Structure 1
Amino acid sequence: MKKFLAKKMMLLVGLVLLGLTFSSFKDDDKNFKVAKNLDIFNTIFKELNIYYVDTINPDKSIKVGIDAMLDGLDPYTEYYPEEEMGDLNLMLKGSYGGIGSIITYYKGRVAIDEPYEGMPAAKVGLKAGDVLLEIDGKDLKGKSVAQVSEMLKGQIGTSFMLKVERPGAKKPLEFKLTRESIQIPAVPYYSVEANNTGYIQLNSFTGKPSKEFKDAFLALKKKGITSLVIDLRNNGGGLLDEAVEIANMFIPRGKEIVSTKGRIKQGDRSYKTTREPIDPEIPITVLVNNSSASASEILAGAFQDLDRAVIIGTRTFGKGLVQTTRNLPYGGNLKLTTAKYYIPSGRCVQAIDYKHRNEDGSVGRVPDSLTTVFHTAAGREVRDGGGIMPDVEIKVEKAPNILFYLVMDKLIFEYANDYCVKHPTIASAKDFVLTDEDYNEFKALVNKANFKYDRQSDKVLKNLKEVAEFEGYMDEASEEFKALEKKLSHNLDRDLDHFAKDIKSVISTEIVKRSQFQKGAIIQQLKGDEELAKAIELLKDQDKYKSLLKPGKTNAEQKSVATAK
């Protein structure tokens, strides 16, 4: 018996050693391949540097090589050389040294698009529409937006002179600006809406959003709100910890909000609420859309999985990947994906599988048929692999094609400049109305500019004609095509009238923000917001609100109950 056990033990030890040997061979083979290919890359660059017909810029060439390598992974893994670290810091901290203004390209020059309230640009009196001519006497003609942006940014406390051309002014104006730490607000607006419903717009999870959110929520509590709408639309995310902090204001201590799992053990972590919530009972609705991503999906997903809020809007983006940063030699940095995150039900919302690419290198979303069913704390069905599907889905009509081109061609921007010259003061954002007479003036400006835009109907009709001709149907259908071409003929005045509501809304926002900044623009945009109205309506009907958070209905049944009028 002892001999048998001894033989068995020897065999077991032998298998373990054999496994370790194979593992060692595998690791050695991988390390050899890494060393071999790095040596090949190094040698190729040296040969090019010595023998190539033209002089090679080493920084640019290596950067192109690195970027091409990272492009094969995912869009969130990026290399930042020392000179681009400002972009990474802005992404992580939401702050930079500058004047606090969005700039844009306008009529061959860079111009102020929107100064931030309370920041250096606004303090000295810069306005949207101001065309930038010189910085410290250096002519900016021919400079790109990126180049001018770098010139405006700099060390906090440093000053410079800026010369601008202002619409309606007879001669250029000069301003002395001192750079400050520019912190982009994560909560640009909050208010009390109908039925004592609080509204908080959360634009980002960079900087200190949890502090801003807490201050806003406590201010609304003092005003007597009895329910809350959290607006995460177009919030692209940021810091995971900040999403957990905000969730903790409404979710009891000790609840897991999110966990991460990576290839190495350091990527595995669980994030739980650590304090008692400020208000664990207040009814909440969360607005999301297809641009709500990352930390936004963690917050919305945690609320949904823990049955703490009703999610309203359209399916979110579907980013379930976590990035960390690694310091590199010579002041650079590598932002790389190190883990996936999982919300309380255990699901990951990542919509695109970058590991398994098509033969042409493209990637696609995970089809709904391949997603897995998970369950919320109360037992409601939810799915992974495609973002957060709202409890109440609201289909939002796409902006008309003509509006895109009016914005891109800066015709709305130009009209707002002219309008503000003629109207130095306007009504508050809540009361401002663009009249029919004003809109007729805008239409006249568009017609005078000989405005052209891409019409999707023309493209589709052209493709259909080509197919009909190829398949031999053109002779029989020629009269029908002529009639359709006549009906779809280019009619600018008709389109400006047909889409007047959408166009007027954008014009009004552009005008209001010139004197009332971002807050005024948000107030203007929220007028007639159907999703916000649906959120407030649902919070008013507590029976319907509570029914959506209970199990027992299929997703389709839940949606039909929620969307019925």
Structure 2
Amino acid sequence: MKKTKQIRLIIVFSLLIFAGISTAFLVTQESRDFRIAKNLDIFFSLFRELNAFYVDEIDPDKIIKSGIDNMLQTLDPYTVYYPESDADDFTFMTTGKYGGIGSLVRGGGEYVVISEVYKGFPADRAGIKAGDLLKKVDGIPLKGLSTDNVSNKLKGSPGTDITVTVERNGTESDFRMKRERIIIPPVPFFGMIDEKTGYIRFTTFTQDCVEEVKNALVSLKTNNPQQIILDVRGNPGGLLTEAVGIVNLFVGPGNEVVSTKGKVKQFDEDFKTTKAAIDEKIPLAVLINRGSASAAEIVAGAIQDLDRGIIVGQRSYGKGLVQITRSLSYNTQLKVTTAKYYIPSGRCIQALDFSHPNEDGSVGIIPDSLISEFKTRNGRAVRDGGGITPDVEIAPEPLSQVASELFLRNYIFDFASKYYWSHPDINSISQFSFTDSDYDDFRSFLIDRKFNYRTFTEASLTQLISNAKREKYYDLNKDLFAELEKDIAHNLDHDLTMFR
């Protein structure tokens, strides 16, 4: 009897605890639901009052989009809202396809400039060249328009007619063509860089990119290479499933490549290789840099963790977050972070800690105290929390400031365009040489364009002089500042010779 009473007490006590926990959960959930409903009601009421009483007319699309964007910015930079007007950009991001003429444009003053023409597409077949100045599209002047506006005018439904007016060497010409479905190749180049080394340049993880890399690898193997270089420098990533497929080209079936873990458990998943590899034995090197991110890091990290090859270059970007897309009403889309990904050793290589922002809203890197050590398949030590650290680190050689200025301000591009049209006899890169006379022409070109620049040292001295004047020290040391300005002033002709 006493024992029965004890059992009853235990059961009652357990039920009370369970009821208490359940009640607490329901109260918490009810409180959260109430707060969501309350804040949505406040937002709706606020917008209704603004729309009714604000002094000027309000653009509802613009102001709501701004509100959504600012809300999402408090989370992470990868959770993004795409309105219906951005549907083409969203499709291009995930598939690498869009309707257009097959060219890239950049700013170039009053008019934008064709910076690249994709071979085999309408612009290329029509005869448009890099360096052409875009003056009109279908008779509409483009003067003063941004690159985004001009790009949007070039895009359109495949099969539609378009007339592009360009200026080349001072002469305007019209080019008529039909827009097509443009597919940006994820493998812009592959080939043998010497008798024993095959090289694959791989730029983006869009749909079906695995087939492109596979075809490149199979083609290279006909040359009997002894080693392969897979170059994912500057590759920003893309579709996670394609990353698994790329690893599968070099690793046989049954190997885990990546797993995802998040708040919604139904999205947790382990991704393994499922097919026979194209080549499991050939020595492999993967090139990475600070621009290698997301799916590119999955490939590099899996190759490293499985000890399938070596990683060469710089530490990668450190994006260990997974996004999925959710369709919203009115043909809008939400790309939302749902999980973190973990490569075979169990590490997550996310560099920035968005879950613990600073008081000012900024985010910091994962602190050293939270970085852990993991082991590769063969027992080598690797770490999480900051991208993929290469097995062989190679820092890029820094450019001189004059070279950086010439490149970033497109003087090299503009001279190359001018050189191309003044040397029609150039047939191939193997026949090309840039002579001393050509370099003298480049100097003259820069003088004609009134090229100049300020070094960081000169800019710092200008700031120092400004501070000295504000604090009343300048007049006391005017001769000293004048002498210093003279000593550190750069000489363009000297720089062009020294950093040639």
TM-score between both structures, scaled by the size of structure 1? 0.84
Deviation of 1:473 after TM superposition, in Å, equals 10
- Cα 1:261–1:36, aligned 2, differ >3 Å: closer, same or farther? same
Which of 81, 106, 109 in structure 1 is aligned with 2:108?
106
Which of 57, 62, 65 in structure 2 is aligned with 1:63?
65
Which of 83, 94, 99 in structure 2 is aligned with 1:92?
94
Structure 2 distance, partners of 1:258, 1:461, is 51
Counterpart of 1:244, as a letter, is V
Deviation of 1:483 after TM superposition, in Å, equals 5.8
Q: What is the match of residue 164 of structure 2?
A: 162
Counterpart of 2:318, as a letter, is G
Deviations 1:223-252, CA, capped at 9 Å, x for gaps: 111111110111111111111101011112
3-state SS in 1 of match to 2:378: coil
- Cα 1:341–1:157, aligned 2, differ >3 Å: closer, same or farther? same
Q: What is the match of residue 389 of structure 1?
A: 389
8 Å CA contact 1:95–1:207 kept in 2: the answer is: no
3-state SS in 2 of match to 1:134: strand
- Cα 1:168–1:426, aligned 2, differ >3 Å: closer, same or farther? farther
Deviation of 1:7 after TM superposition, in Å, equals 1.2
280-289 vs 418-427, which deviates more? 418-427
Structure 2 distance, partners of 1:121, 1:192, is 29
- Cα 1:468–1:165, aligned 2, differ >3 Å: closer, same or farther? closer
Q: What is the match of residue 208 of structure 1?
A: 208
Q: What is the match of residue 403 of structure 1?
A: 403
Q: What is the match of residue 504 of structure 1?
A: none
Counterpart of 2:422, as a letter, is K
8 Å CA contact 1:368–1:386 kept in 2: the answer is: no
Structure 2 distance, partners of 1:210, 1:333, is 26
Q: What is the match of residue 125 of structure 1?
A: 127
Q: With CA pairs under 8 Å and 6+ residues apart, which has the higher RCO, 1 or 2?
A: 1
307-316 vs 454-463, which deviates more? 454-463
Deviation of 1:409 after TM superposition, in Å, equals 3.2
Deviation of 1:448 after TM superposition, in Å, equals 2.1
- Cα 1:35–1:83, aligned 2, differ >3 Å: closer, same or farther? same
Q: What is the match of residue 11 of structure 2?
A: 9
Deviations 1:30-65, CA, capped at 9 Å, x for gaps: 111111111111111110101000000000000110
- Cα 1:470–1:371, aligned 2, differ >3 Å: closer, same or farther? farther
Structure 2 distance, partners of 1:496, 1:324, is 49
Structure 1 distance, partners of 2:205, 2:301, is 15
150-159 vs 367-376, which deviates more? 367-376
Counterpart of 1:255, as a letter, is N
8 Å CA contact 1:288–1:312 kept in 2: the answer is: yes
Identity %: 47
Deviation of 1:196 after TM superposition, in Å, equals 0.9
Structure 1 distance, partners of 2:24, 2:378, is 48
1:374 aligns with 2:395: no
Q: What is the match of residue 558 of structure 1?
A: none
3-state SS in 2 of match to 1:155: coil
3-state SS in 2 of match to 1:83: helix
Deviation of 1:221 after TM superposition, in Å, equals 0.4
Alignment of 1:338-377 (within 5 A): 338-377=338-377
Gapped regions of structure 2 (runs ≥ 5): none
Q: What is the match of residue 76 of structure 2?
A: 74
Deviation of 1:201 after TM superposition, in Å, equals 0.6
Q: What is the match of residue 519 of structure 1?
A: none
Structure 2 distance, partners of 1:410, 1:108, is 15
3-state SS in 2 of match to 1:198: strand
Q: What is the match of residue 309 of structure 1?
A: 309
Q: What is the match of residue 250 of structure 1?
A: 250
Deviations 1:2-32, CA, capped at 9 Å, x for gaps: 2211210111121111101100000111111
TM-score between both structures, scaled by the size of structure 2? 0.95
- Cα 1:477–1:140, aligned 2, differ >3 Å: closer, same or farther? closer
Deviation of 1:467 after TM superposition, in Å, equals 8.3
Deviations 1:276-306, CA, capped at 9 Å, x for gaps: 2121111011111000000000000000001
Higher-helix-fraction structure? 1
Structure 2 distance, partners of 1:33, 1:130, is 56
Q: What is the match of residue 329 of structure 1?
A: 329
Q: What is the match of residue 496 of structure 2?
A: 496
- Cα 1:380–1:413, aligned 2, differ >3 Å: closer, same or farther? same
Gapped regions of structure 1 (runs ≥ 5): 501-565
3-state SS in 2 of match to 1:312: strand
- Cα 1:29–1:113, aligned 2, differ >3 Å: closer, same or farther? same
1:422 aligns with 2:422: yes
8 Å CA contact 1:260–1:267 kept in 2: the answer is: yes
3-state SS in 2 of match to 1:426: coil
464-473 vs 308-317, which deviates more? 464-473
Structure 2 distance, partners of 1:222, 1:275, is 21
3-state SS in 1 of match to 2:494: helix
Structure 2 distance, partners of 1:475, 1:58, is 56
Structure 1 distance, partners of 2:361, 2:13, is 47
Q: What is the match of residue 176 of structure 1?
A: 176
Deviation of 1:207 after TM superposition, in Å, equals 3.0
- Cα 1:47–1:253, aligned 2, differ >3 Å: closer, same or farther? same
3-state SS in 2 of match to 1:106: coil
Structure 2 distance, partners of 1:410, 1:337, is 37
8 Å CA contact 1:401–1:454 kept in 2: the answer is: no
Counterpart of 1:285, as a letter, is A
469-478 vs 367-376, which deviates more? 469-478
Counterpart of 1:359, as a letter, is E
Which of 122, 140, 145 in structure 1 is aligned with 2:142?
140
Q: What is the match of residue 534 of structure 1?
A: none
Deviation of 1:404 after TM superposition, in Å, equals 3.4
Structure 2 distance, partners of 1:377, 1:476, is 68
Q: What is the match of residue 261 of structure 1?
A: 261
Q: What is the match of residue 273 of structure 2?
A: 273
Structure 1 distance, partners of 2:403, 2:281, is 42
427-436 vs 238-247, which deviates more? 427-436
Counterpart of 2:376, as a letter, is T
Deviation of 1:469 after TM superposition, in Å, equals 9.7
Deviation of 1:413 after TM superposition, in Å, equals 2.6
1:220 aligns with 2:207: no
3-state SS in 2 of match to 1:194: coil
Counterpart of 2:487, as a letter, is K
Deviation of 1:490 after TM superposition, in Å, equals 2.6
8 Å CA contact 1:252–1:273 kept in 2: the answer is: yes
3-state SS in 2 of match to 1:326: strand
CA RMSD of aligned residues (A): 2.2
Structure 1 distance, partners of 2:462, 2:367, is 31
8 Å CA contact 1:320–1:351 kept in 2: the answer is: yes
Structure 2 distance, partners of 1:241, 1:309, is 20
8 Å CA contact 1:186–1:208 kept in 2: the answer is: no
Alignment of 1:35-50 (within 5 A): 35-50=37-52
Q: What is the match of residue 21 of structure 1?
A: 23
Deviation of 1:113 after TM superposition, in Å, equals 1.3
Counterpart of 1:374, as a letter, is F
Q: What is the match of residue 553 of structure 1?
A: none
Deviation of 1:419 after TM superposition, in Å, equals 0.9
Structure 2 distance, partners of 1:456, 1:392, is 32
Structure 2 distance, partners of 1:409, 1:162, is 25
8 Å CA contact 1:129–1:167 kept in 2: the answer is: no
Structure 2 distance, partners of 1:385, 1:311, is 17
